[in-house]
Amino acid sequence: MGNKLLCLGLLTALLGYYIYSPIPEDVAQPGTVMLLSALFRAQGHVSEVAELLGLASYMETLRLFTVFTLVPPTSDENVTVTDTELSNVPVRLYLPRRAPGGLRRAVLFFHGGGWCLDDAGVHDYDHLTRRISNELDAVVVSVNYRLAPPHRFPAQFEDVYSVTKFFLQRQVLAQYGVDPARVCVAGDSAGGNLAAAVAQQLPQDPEVKAKLKAQVLIYPALQALDLKLPSYLDNAEKPLLSRTLMVRFWSEYFSAEPTLREAMASNAHIPAEAGPLLQFVNWSRWLPADVRGAHRYSSPAAGGTEPGRGSPGLLDPRAAPLLGSEARLRGLPPAFVLTCQHDVLRDDGLMYAARLRAAGVPVTHHHATDAFHGAMTFLDGPFELRLAHRLLSTTLGWLRDNL
Ligand SMILES: *[C@@H]1O[C@H](CO)[C@@H](O)[C@H](O)[C@H]1NC(C)=O
Ligand SMILES: *[C@@H]1O[C@H](CO)[C@@H](O)[C@H](O)[C@H]1NC(C)=O
């Protein structure tokens, strides 16, 4: 009896030790966030073990955890939901049911998941896009672009780009009852990266006549040249995205080469050709003083490393929109940029907001000081966060006024 109690006590202590992680003081519902963070870490550890045992690659296992939460396309009283294809790319389509008062808005939505994970049909994204469709009375096209591995840059970009280009055709917009002057792109995390990249590419395309009304970038990833920005250093172990995992996502997006990930982890992945682009990730120039804090700027060394040179995506604005030239940024549609204080990607968003403004693009920048990466997706279920509702309602408020 005594032994059993002792074992139980030890197990509880071990479990408690595993679950415990420091949560930033100003983050509300710390117990829920801690559990969520432990769940994500546990999935990461299981995936590492599966890879060590040779059962499946790290990303394959991690992806399985998201596949478990897939939900079928289910219509409700307000929105008709279907899985279909546009331009040969699978999409989940949300069409409002109430009688239209005229032509509708449309949102092309790109989900997050580091270009490797998730799906328009996982519970959290299905819930989010359904809310957007219902509350904005908007047609929402949520794109199931190809994922890494096996698919790498530019496959993800090409899929979302080709759906956007297809949808923007006059006869397609007319078929869905969409107002050509009220279409936007939106996405979170890796999806925010894709949304920014699509917004930049469309004006370069002589075949595209329509213009986007807006771009919505929710804690986007925007560059992989400097992976030691203050936000990467300050938030390396914050929920729900660690620096290690973000490095893994970037390297998987670009290459199957494990040396790229190792080089990225130590910020030694920058090829000599990157030299002229380093000005765009110079955070001593683009970050406000209060964010730079006590950090001292030193430019990442452009050393001409092999792994970096083998990954042209690294320098391509379609993969890293922050590297777009000033000429490419000029005239882009008004942007809503959401950043979170406790996020490795915080400074990507801050610098892009600054660069867009410098190029004359109207920017609404919402900085959530008490938020962390991924927070907006927890809108219901056991991990429901009041923070998620607040971030969504801020975003929808902007869209109501600007789309
Ligand atoms: C349908 O829309 C109404 C009004 O916005 C809302 O109260 C209701 O909860 C919605 N139903 C669903 C299933 O989302
Ligand atoms: C970075 O920006 C600062 C401030 O504008 C400037 O003094 C410095 O020369 C820049 N460094 C590089 C490597 O671009």
Residue nearest to atom 4 of ligand 2 (CA): 285
Q: Is 373 a residue of the active site?
A: yes
Q: What is the pLDDT of residue 305?
A: 65
Distance (angstroms) between ligand 1 centre and the Cα of 98 equals 11
Q: What angle do CA 151, 156, 161 make, to 5 degrees?
A: 145
Instruction: Work out the number of other CB atoms within 10 angstroms of the CB of residue 233.
Output: 14
Q: Is 189 a residue of the active site?
A: yes
- CA-to-CA distance for 205 and 213, rounded, in angstroms? 17
Ligand 2 neighbour 209 (Cβ under 6 A): no
Q: Is 255 a residue of the active site?
A: no
Q: What is the pLDDT of residue 3?
A: 81
In order along its 403 residues, the chain shows pLDDT tens digits of 578 877 887 788 778 778 888 899 999 999 999 999 999 999 999 999 999 999 999 999 999 999 999 999 999 999 999 999 999 999 999 999 998 889 999 999 999 999 999 999 999 999 999 999 999 999 999 999 999 999 999 999 999 999 999 999 999 999 999 999 999 999 999 999 999 999 999 999 999 999 999 999 999 999 999 999 999 999 999 999 999 999 999 999 999 888 999 999 999 999 888 989 999 999 999 999 999 988 999 888 877 666 667 787 999 999 999 999 999 999 999 999 999 999 999 999 999 999 999 999 999 999 999 999 999 999 999 999 999 999 999 999 999 999 9
Tell me 207's DSSP state.
T
Q: What is the pTM of this model?
A: 0.96
Query: Which residue of the set 189, 242, 251, 255 is catalytic?
Result: 189
Residue nearest to atom 6 of ligand 2 (CA): 285
Segments of 104-248 assigned E as strands: 104-110, 138-143, 178-188, 214-218
Q: What is the pLDDT of residue 100?
A: 85
Q: Which atom of ligand 2 is nearest to the CA of 278?
A: 14
- Tens digits of residue pLDDT in 227-246: 999 999 999 999 999 999 99
- Tens digits of residue pLDDT in 33-48: 999 999 999 999 999 9
Whether the CB-CB separation of 58 and 51 falls below 8 Å is answered with yes
Q: What is the pLDDT of residue 301?
A: 81
Domains of the chain are: 69-224+313-402 (3.40.50.1820)
Share of the chain above pLDDT 70, in %: 98
Q: What is the pLDDT of residue 306?
A: 67
**Distances in Å between the alpha carbon of 218 and those of 72, 201, 215, 239, 349?**
25, 19, 10, 16, 9
- CA-to-CA distance for 79 and 209, rounded, in angstroms? 29
Q: What is the pLDDT of residue 303?
A: 73
Sheet holding 214-218, edge to edge: 79-86, 89-96, 138-143, 104-110, 178-188, 214-218, 335-342, 363-372
Cβ-based neighbours of 389, under 8 Å, separated by 6 or more? 379
Best CA proximity match to 172, nearest among 194, 139, 206:
139
Q: What is the pLDDT of residue 365?
A: 98
Q: What is the pLDDT of residue 308?
A: 66
Query: Which residue of the set 118, 159, 343, 348 is catalytic?
Result: 343
**Distances in Å between the alpha carbon of 294 and those of 233, 234, 291?**
12, 11, 9
Mean pLDDT across the chain: 95
